[in-house]
Structure 1
Amino acid sequence: MPDQVELLRRLIVVDSVNPDLVPGGSGEAAIADYCAGWLAERGFEITWLEERPGRPSVVAVARGSGGGPALMLNGHLDTVTLAGYDGDPLAPRVEDGRLYGRGAFDMKSGLAAMMTAAARAVAAGPLRGDLLVCCVADEEHSSAGTEEVLRGFSADAAIVTEPSHLEITLAHKGFAWFDVVVEGVAAHGSRPDLGVDAIAKAGHFLVAIEEWGERLAAGPAHPLLGRGSVHASLIRGGEEASSYPAACRITVERRTVPGERPEAELAAILDRLAATVPGFAYRLEPGLRREPFEADREAAIVRTVLAQAEQVLGRPPVIRAEPFWTDCALLAGAGIPCLLVGVDGGGAHAATEWVELDSLDRLTELLTRTIWEFCS
């Protein structure tokens, strides 16, 4: 069995459900320990990062001989829930060229490929530049692992090995979350003269969100990512049937492409409503925000990966963009040119998950070639 397949099997056996997604989940400690031991046995210097107890990330470094650029490989240790999986999610199974199990696609296959490629490249001879293998916690929730890594480590370029069907991802959307609290005045239901219905006032805002989405859908499109979008995710208001509600809280998600300013757009909509709708008052509470990502196609790492992918695939690789957010944006925000490439397969977050083993082999070869070319 190829090294990367056996390593993937061993990684899938280790429960690493993100406890921020599933209360009581095992977290990343056991799988981080396994990855650290595996890489240490192959000569890597290990740094254990654990600002949040029980939520470690591992940075394994192979020091270069000097004079070459440093390359960072990034992959996440955590998975989504095991509940509802069809069969035993921690018992990897090979059938018809596929390996099944939770995390097989998203993204223990990427971990196995980058760890194996790093070990092969280092064993083949000294690299000039440093090679950093970052096995990070918490990508499935808030990416605390990559944020912690970037507070202590950097590189001249990076590759994230999230699954991408062996296509080269050079852009992805960002997102911003907002809570809009539409304010009313609480009163008994029999006293409309005293009460202001926050839920009814919020209706004006919900209509404005729909109109905002229509404007985005009709506006200019990014060449890879298309258009941004907006929707109301959550709504909560009122206490009981016989009272005017004092507040109605609406959570809004805005998916963004490069160059957009969602805060300014939202503030303008709310200010217009406050000026035109009698009794409309609001409070805006910004939440989590993650920036969109777009790689520079002329960056050395992009040109290197594209050239090596063509060699491994026997054809020019497909260039793609993702509608979802990834750790690429954090790396790029830290000034590290990067891109994303990973295996083929399916079933991410689903009841059945698998990786196409041929793609795992190809990804491992692509990463091995890229490490050697870039760091040497």
Structure 2
Amino acid sequence: MPDIDRDINRDIDLSTEITELLADLVRIESTNPSLSSGGVGEASIASWVAAWCETQGLAVDPVDSGDGRPSLVVRSRPAQSRAESAAAQSDAAQSGPRPATGTLLLCGHLDTVDLGAMTDPLVPRVDGDRLYGRGSYDMKAGLAAALIACREAARLGLDVDVVVAAVADEEHGSLGIQRVLDHLGAGFVADAAVVTEPTEMAIGVAHKGFVWTEIDVMGVAAHGSRPQLGVDAIVRTGTLLVEIEALGRRLAARAHPLLGPGTVHAGVIEGGQGPSTIPERCRLTIERRTLPGESPTDVEREVGQLLATCAAADPDFRATARTVMHRPPLETAGAHPLVAALSGACQDIRADTPDVSGLSYWADSAFIAARGIPTVLFGPGGDGAHADVEWVSLRDTADCARVLVQLARHLGTALRRNEA
């Protein structure tokens, strides 16, 4: 086996290689078609990533995420169940490579938001430590780091199977990670998972969830010259908006130590038929950002109370509500061994201690954690997610790959110690 201490910290120019890989990924448009009618989807980038993995000697398994939008499962070792791995370990010769003692799951998404008003969004541009282009920060840099880490784990012969889930549709419905987890099946066991979303090289242990609710406020249509015959649904929705604002103030009174308070806001409003008609309907879509411990049922109860309050104050107020999408929050204990192992890996590579923080955005990490896998987020720094100027730090991206390899090494050492 290679000298791992020397190889992980060697001055191989991972920086050059990872810059080239990231630039290749940025050149491939992968805009999410669920967000934009012109979105091309993930088929082209998934095909390119699969081909790259094959040239690196990595096992690749495509997973259909629906509508021709593939995800990929990439492995540093051939797939084995824990029972098969244990049997192989007992039979292995002392001089041969160790069978896998554990699994580290890395996750990054293939899709991006639309190109917006970016200048040359698919032409990667390097300026000092920064690489510019659509998806560079969110999150093709994190994906590149995960792929390089998987390749390095295979090259070094680490006895931890590093599995990369390169998934479709994170920017909209997260179909990719759900299909990948279903594909891996109930028998898939990972000792830890890292989602390589951009975290500025901090360890993200928590993020909020969200619930989207559509509220239909019903009125009675009438001609604008005879308003006494109608009930204005838009005016009644205004009453509801006041109650939503009051709910936001109540939520602000109870804060999570890493995430702050839950929030609520009105995201979309639509209604009315014309200037001379009393509107008979107004639809309001609200988003409630939830804290760990809060559920969609809790939010449905809150919304029901809002409607009841409005109805009690106005006998003409009538409304119905339905949940149209919900995603769970994430919380991994800051004292979890995964956090300590990742922090130690950062200190090995960067000689500093990373912050442990909560993150403002939602990510696929919550779905992974829901399968009982200890999960954190960790990725490079930069700026401009979903914006017209987007860039990522190349130094952080290369360091992220190195840290992930070191984490795999720490994980293998810890598992062997536990088995001893």
Q: What is the TM-score with the length of structure 2 in the denominator?
A: 0.85
- Cα distance, 1:66 vs structure 2: 4.2
Structure 2 residues not aligned, in runs of 5+:
1-12, 79-84, 86-97, 414-420
Q: Could you tell me which residue of structure 2 aligns to residue 169 of structure 1?
A: 204
Q: Could you tell me which residue of structure 2 aligns to residue 194 of structure 1?
A: 229
Q: Tell me how large the CA RMSD over aligned residues is.
A: 1.7
2:65–2:71: 8 Å Cα contact kept in structure 1? no
In the TM superposition, what whole-angstrom CA distance separates every residue of 1:306-364 from its partner, at most 9, and x where no partner exists?
11112222121111211111111111112211000101111222222222111112111
* Greater mean deviation of Cα atoms: 38-47 or 116-125: 38-47
Match of 1:288 among 325, 329, 350: 325
Matches within 5 A, 1:1-376: 2-61=16-75, 62-63=77-78, 65-66=98-99, 68-86=101-119, 88-127=120-159, 129-153=160-184, 154=188, 155-217=190-252, 219-260=253-294, 261-375=298-412
Distance in 2 (CA, whole Å) between partners of 1:76 and 1:111 is: 7
1:126/1:311 CA distance change after superposition, 3 Å: closer
**Bigger proportion of residues as helix:** 2
Distance in 1 (CA, whole Å) between partners of 2:329 and 2:173 is: 15
In the TM superposition, what whole-angstrom CA distance separates every residue of 1:82-128 from its partner, at most 9, and x where no partner exists?
23112x2222222222222222111111111111111011111141x
1:189/1:307 CA distance change after superposition, 3 Å: same
- Cα distance, 1:20 vs structure 2: 1.5
In the TM superposition, what whole-angstrom CA distance separates every residue of 1:176-222 from its partner, at most 9, and x where no partner exists?
111111111223334445322212222211110111111112x1210
Structure 1 residues not aligned, in runs of 5+:
none
- Cα distance, 1:55 vs structure 2: 1.0
1:32–1:57: 8 Å Cα contact kept in structure 2? yes
- Cα distance, 1:29 vs structure 2: 0.7
Distance in 1 (CA, whole Å) between partners of 2:360 and 2:277 is: 42
Count of residue pairs the alignment pairs up: 373
In the TM superposition, what whole-angstrom CA distance separates every residue of 1:41-70 from its partner, at most 9, and x where no partner exists?
333222111241331100012237546221
Distance in 2 (CA, whole Å) between partners of 1:258 and 1:126 is: 35
SS for the counterpart of 1:350 is coil
Distance in 2 (CA, whole Å) between partners of 1:324 and 1:126 is: 33
Distance in 2 (CA, whole Å) between partners of 1:269 and 1:339 is: 35
Distance in 2 (CA, whole Å) between partners of 1:265 and 1:348 is: 31
Q: Structure 2: which amino acid aligns with 1:106?
A: D
* Greater mean deviation of Cα atoms: 282-291 or 260-269: 260-269
Distance in 2 (CA, whole Å) between partners of 1:82 and 1:279 is: 45
* Greater mean deviation of Cα atoms: 299-308 or 185-194: 185-194
SS for the counterpart of 1:107 is helix
2:334–2:356: 8 Å Cα contact kept in structure 1? no
SS for the counterpart of 1:289 is strand
SS for the counterpart of 2:358 is strand
In the TM superposition, what whole-angstrom CA distance separates every residue of 1:248-302 from its partner, at most 9, and x where no partner exists?
1111111111123222111112122223322111111111111111112343322
* Greater mean deviation of Cα atoms: 352-361 or 110-119: 352-361
Distance in 1 (CA, whole Å) between partners of 2:398 and 2:276 is: 64
SS for the counterpart of 1:224 is coil
1:30/1:332 CA distance change after superposition, 3 Å: same
1:178/1:353 CA distance change after superposition, 3 Å: same
SS for the counterpart of 1:234 is strand
- Cα distance, 1:24 vs structure 2: 2.1
> Percent of counterpart pairs with the same letter?
43
Distance in 2 (CA, whole Å) between partners of 1:239 and 1:352 is: 39
1:186–1:196: 8 Å Cα contact kept in structure 2? yes
